[in-house]
């Protein structure tokens, strides 16, 4: 007998990638407002190289690229651009785009070995640590036509991000609200906590992401930073800066909505969120980089198949249900 | 969650046939499949050319329920086709009935064995499974202490069960008392969906305030609440251990239509000769709840409700987990429940995107996506109910039911 049910839920696979594409737009618009056209150029270059690489490889394999893979690759390219400061020379988004498209080559039939965007972000950060720590002030515009802005020019607008200051045990001059809205220095897509939060809510409402991973991640990150503040900072302040500044929210939105590198079950997603938060704090505390969240996501997404294997659901009839009466 | 179970899907009721009283429909000829019970075959005990009255026994078996002539008329042919034996009867349109054979004794004096035997000879089988009712009664006797009567029809088009409950509350309560006696249970629970207010109050008024045996409970509507194990989960918050039957934890579930049949068999002495079913769907010209003689061809049933347009598919069973109906050869059996005439699905079947929706919606809490590459646990293939929630929710439109069916076959080998 072949089944042929006619009722089908209206949510389509493509909309998972399309919705992630949509939530890119708000932070992108904000980054152009805060950093000028150069932010748009960086994102564009990264997406272009990611797509070109993916299409090139598919062409060599004589396969047709399906729309889901293309959209997913484009999102990965844009997310890696979001983790770059606006002063970077253009060869970094080129490299980042190509690296971010690498794990997408496993699509659509298989699981990604790691999360592409965050793998690229962690790699370029390891390769060019100095270039990537040159965050500049918001609302100071660098010309988009400079391939590699002169170091002296960049240094004249250079400001430390709140997270970098925190790693040095200092406190930024702006208020927490500045970090919430995104009027401080930082990486182009990460500065506005509010807009990323809106994207997160959009995904949750549209049921493209489960609540488990972002909530577990935020909760554990807050808890650990609250208990173990670093430097002479006030614990609550330290906690809020850890959450508001840097790539924490970008992770919550774009890493946890990438179904191909996330565990399938709700328990698995919970484990992923907790693991990412713990690794982030660990790398921030004892590692060399002030931003540990990219490496944390890469590590967790690499162990996702293992998480999946041990968090398969307990089937009906194999556990006791609470509140059962005799 | 109160009065519900894990997973499942909330479906909008496509209630085009809701609230329509069942209509009796009599075709010109019927072809009764002797293989229609789960568990085996019955042997025809009539000859070609013989005249049969409606309700006359036409096929017998030592262990299984009997088959009765659904119409009065002449037996045209006994034929064997596709490994099934068919009895074809041409109706004479007079509806001459064989004499009814009810219990003559008062209810208090009838023994459980007599009731069980009566149910068998009157041909009562399960509404959806086609499993002989008397076998289930004997299996649950002594083990079950509570009888749950399933008055729920959770799939979006189905509506005949709620019509039965609305029209026959007295018969159902009487039938439930007989069934309770046959099994020997101390408690009877009618399980209704909580939007069935009229049926609820009708049942309540028939049962009365002080009845210690029978009670009515209302449950949150969600597909597939009608499945036995999900229903128990919602009613008693208890799960049936893997590999066991429901009576192993002291509960047994019978459907409302079966209880109505038991009432008719015992109190009126009328055998099962017809079947309630729903014909509905977007492309159905006149949706209806029908009472159709067993053996009516599916084509005749569809034509009665306006026929199947060329661009439509006809689904046998629920629209969530049904199969394409075999309109040419198929006929109504004792376990036919729905015929859905609607636009075909046209599934594109992309690759799995690992979204995990099938896991959160599976009432059996298995991971349906693992069946695609065969990495599922072997026990899961047995556990799956084929409710179709995973296929409904899958954003990649993967034909999970077909895949799981294949894995089940592999596991069975």
Would you say residue A8 lies in a domain?
Answer: no
Residues B353, A16: contact at Cβ < 8 Å?
yes
pLDDT above 90 (res A120) = yes
- pLDDT tens per residue, range B381-394: 888 889 999 999 99
| pLDDT score recorded for residue A249 | 92
A272 belongs to a structural domain: yes
Cβ neighbours of A177 (radius 10 Å): 10
Nearest CA in chain B to A268: B356
In a domain, A142, yes or no: yes
Q: Is residue A315 part of a domain?
A: no
Q: Which helix (H) or strand (E) holds B91?
A: strand B84-91
CA B41 to chain centre: 19
Average pLDDT over residues A45-71: 92
ipTM of the complex, rounded to two decimals: 0.87
The Cα–Cα gap between A76 and B382 comes to: 40
For the entire predicted model, the pTM comes to 0.89
CB contact under 8 A, A108 and B351: yes
Nearest to B388 among A5, A265, A322 (CB): A5
H helices of A83-161, in order, are 91-101, 116-127, 151-157
pLDDT of B84 over the 80 cut: no
A324 inside 8 A of chain B by CB: yes
Q: Which residues of A touch B366 (CB under 8 A)?
A: 313, 315-316
Q: Name the maximum alpha-carbon separation found in chain B.
A: 64
Tell me the per-residue pLDDT of A34-45, one tens digit each, with 9 for 90 and over: 999 999 999 999
pLDDT digits (tens, 9 = 90+) for B326-336: 888 888 888 88
pLDDT band at A167 (very low <50, low <70, confident <90, very high): confident
Q: A206-255 pLDDT, tens per residue?
A: 999 999 999 999 999 999 999 988 777 788 888 888 888 888 999 999 99
Position A317 in a domain: no
- Identify whether A295 is part of a domain: yes
Q: Is the pLDDT of residue A322 over 60?
A: no
Q: Average pLDDT for residues B9-32, to the nearest whole number?
A: 80
Mean pLDDT of chain A: 89
Q: State CA B407 to chain mean position distance.
A: 25
Using DSSP's 3-state secondary structure scheme, residue B75 falls into: strand
Distance, in Å, from the CA atom of B141 to the CA atom of B252, rounded to the nearest integer, reads: 10
B175-187 mean pLDDT: 92
**Domain range list for chain B:** 107-268, 357-412
Rounded to a whole number of angstroms, the distance from the CA of A180 to the nearest CA of chain B is 30
Inter-CA distances, B60 with B64, B120, B233, Å? 8, 10, 37
For chain B, say whether A2 makes contact (Cβ under 8 Å): yes
For A:16-35, CB contacts with B below 8 A are 16
Chain A CB contacts of B396 below 8 Å: 13
Is residue A322 in some structural domain?
no
Residues of A with Cβ-Cβ distance to B232 under 8 angstroms: none
- The architecture of the domain spanning B107-268 is 3-Layer(aba) Sandwich (3.40)
- Contact between B395 and A15 using a beta-carbon 8 Å cutoff: yes
Which contiguous run of DSSP H or E holds residue B298?
helix B298-304
In a domain, A51, yes or no: yes
- Strand, helix or coil at B146? strand
The answer on pLDDT for B305 being more than 80 is: yes
CB A192, CB A167: distance < 8 Å? no
CATH code where residue A96 lies = 1.10.3430
Residues ≥6 apart with Cβ < 8 Å to A255: A115, A117, A118, A261, A262, A276, A297, A301
Question: What is the distance between the alpha carbons of residues A127 and A87, in angstroms, rounded to a whole number?
Answer: 16
At A210 the pLDDT is 93
Instruction: Indicate the DSSP class of residue B253.
Output: E
B61 vs B271: CA distance, rounded Å: 15
Cα B69 to the center of its chain, rounded Å: 20
User: Over the stretch B280-291, which tens digit does the pLDDT of each residue have?
Assistant: 988 888 899 999
More confident residue, A7 or A45: A45
Give the full edge-to-edge strand order of the sheet including B146-150: B214-219, B187-193, B146-150, B251-255
* Contact state of A6 with B401 under an 8 Å Cβ cutoff: no
DSSP string, B331-380: B--TT--EEEEE--------------HHHHH-TT---TTHHHHT-S-HHH
Contacts of A260 in chain B (CB under 8 A): 353-354
Work out the pLDDT band at A324, boundaries 50, 70, 90.
very low
CB contact under 8 A, B324 and A2: yes
* pLDDT classification of A319: cutoffs 50, 70, 90: low
Residue of B nearest to A66 (CA): B350
Which residues form the domain of A173?
13-310
Number of domain units in chain A: 1
pLDDT tens figures, B49-69? 889 999 999 888 888 889 999
Give chain B's mean pLDDT.
88
- Judged by average pLDDT, the poorest of A87-96, B13-22, B182-191, B372-381 is B13-22
Query: pLDDT confidence of A1, banded at 50, 70, 90?
Result: low
> Which residues on chain B are in Cβ contact (under 8 Å) with A257?
none
**pLDDT of B358-404, one tens digit each?**
999 999 999 999 999 888 888 888 888 899 999 999 999 999 999 99
Do the bridges between strand B313-316 and strand B323-324 make them parallel or antiparallel, or are there none, so unpaired? antiparallel
């Amino acid at each position: 007998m072949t089944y042929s049910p006619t009722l089908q839920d209206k949510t389509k696979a493509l909309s998972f990638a399309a919705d992630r594409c949509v939530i890119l737009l708000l932070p992108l618009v904000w980054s152009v407002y805060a950093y000028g056209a150069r932010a748009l150029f960086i994102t564009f270059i990264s997406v272009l190289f990611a797509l070109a690489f993916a299409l090139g490889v598919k062409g060599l394999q004589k396969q047709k690229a399906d729309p889901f893979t293309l959209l997913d690759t484009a999102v990965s390219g844009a997310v890696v651009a979001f983790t770059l400061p606006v002063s970077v020379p253009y060869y970094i988004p080129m490299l980042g785009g190509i690296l971010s498209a690498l794990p997408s080559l496993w699509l659509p039939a298989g699981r990604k070995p790691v999360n592409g965007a965050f793998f690229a972000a962690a790699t370029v950060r390891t390769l060019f640590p100095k270039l990537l720590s040159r965050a500049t002030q918001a609302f100071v515009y660098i010309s988009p036509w400079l391939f590699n802005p002169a170091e002296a020019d960049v240094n004249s607008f250079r400001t430390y991000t709140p997270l970098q200051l925190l790693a040095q045990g200092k406190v930024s001059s702006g208020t927490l609200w500045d970090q919430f809205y995104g009027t401080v220095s930082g990486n182009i897509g990460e500065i506005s906590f509010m807009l990323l939060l809106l994207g997160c809510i959009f995904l949750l409402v549209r049921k493209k992401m489960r609540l488990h991973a972002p909530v577990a991640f935020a909760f554990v990150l807050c808890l650990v930073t609250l208990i173990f503040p670093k430097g002479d900072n006030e614990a609550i302040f330290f906690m809020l800066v850890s959450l508001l500044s840097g790539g924490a929210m970008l992770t919550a939105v774009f890493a946890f909505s990438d179904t191909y590198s996330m565990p399938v079950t709700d328990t698995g997603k919970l484990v992923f969120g907790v693991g990412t938060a713990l690794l982030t704090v660990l790398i921030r505390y004892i590692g060399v980089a002030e931003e540990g969240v990219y490496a944390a996501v890469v590590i967790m997404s690499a162990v996702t198949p293992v998480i999946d294997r041990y968090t398969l659901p307990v089937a009906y009839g194999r556990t006791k249900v609470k509140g059962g009466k005799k | 969650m109160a009065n519900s179970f894990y997973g499942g899907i909330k479906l909008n009721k496509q209630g085009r046939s809701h609230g329509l009283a069942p209509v009796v429909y009599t075709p010109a000829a019927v072809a009764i499949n002797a293989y229609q019970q789960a568990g085996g075959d019955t042997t025809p005990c009539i000859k070609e050319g013989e005249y049969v009255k409606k309700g006359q026994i036409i096929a017998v078996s030592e262990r299984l329920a009997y088959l009765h002539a659904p119409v009065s008329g002449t037996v045209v042919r006994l034929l064997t086709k596709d490994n099934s034996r068919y009895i074809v009867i041409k109706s004479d349109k007079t509806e001459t009935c064989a004499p009814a054979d009810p219990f003559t004794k008062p209810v208090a004096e009838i023994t459980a064995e007599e009731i069980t035997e009566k149910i068998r000879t009157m041909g009562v089988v399960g509404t959806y499974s086609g499993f002989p009712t008397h076998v289930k009664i004997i299996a649950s006797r002594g083990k079950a202490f509570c009888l749950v009567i399933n008055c729920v029809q959770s799939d979006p088009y189905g509506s005949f069960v709620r019509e039965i409950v609305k029209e026959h509350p007295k018969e159902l309560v009487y039938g439930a008392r007989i069934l309770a006696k046959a099994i020997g249970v101390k408690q009877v629970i009618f399980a209704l969906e909580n939007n069935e207010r009229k049926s609820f109050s009708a049942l309540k008024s028939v049962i009365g305030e002080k009845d210690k045996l029978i009670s009515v409970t209302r449950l949150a509507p969600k597909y597939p609440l009608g499945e036995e194990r999900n229903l128990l989960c919602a009613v008693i918050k208890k799960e049936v251990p893997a590999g066991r039957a429901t009576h192993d934890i002291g509960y047994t579930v019978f459907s409302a239509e079966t209880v109505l049949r038991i009432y008719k068999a015992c109190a009126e002495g009328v055998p099962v000769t017809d079947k309630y079913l729903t014909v509905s769907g977007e492309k159905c010209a006149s949706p209806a709840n029908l009472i159709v003689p067993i053996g009516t061809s599916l084509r005749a049933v569809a034509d009665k409700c306006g026929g199947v347009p060329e661009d439509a598919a006809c689904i046998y069973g629920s629209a969530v987990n049904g199969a394409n109906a075999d309109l040419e050869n198929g006929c109504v059996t004792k376990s036919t429940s729905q015929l859905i005439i609607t636009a075909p699905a046209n599934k594109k079947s992309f690759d799995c995107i690992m979204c995990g929706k099938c896991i959160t919606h599976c009432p059996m809490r298995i991971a349906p996506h693992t069946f695609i590459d065969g990495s599922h646990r072997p026990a899961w293939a047995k556990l799956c109910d084929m409710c179709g929630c995973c296929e409904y929710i899958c954003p990649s439109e993967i034909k999970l039911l077909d895949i799981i069916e294949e894995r089940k076959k592999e596991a069975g080998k």
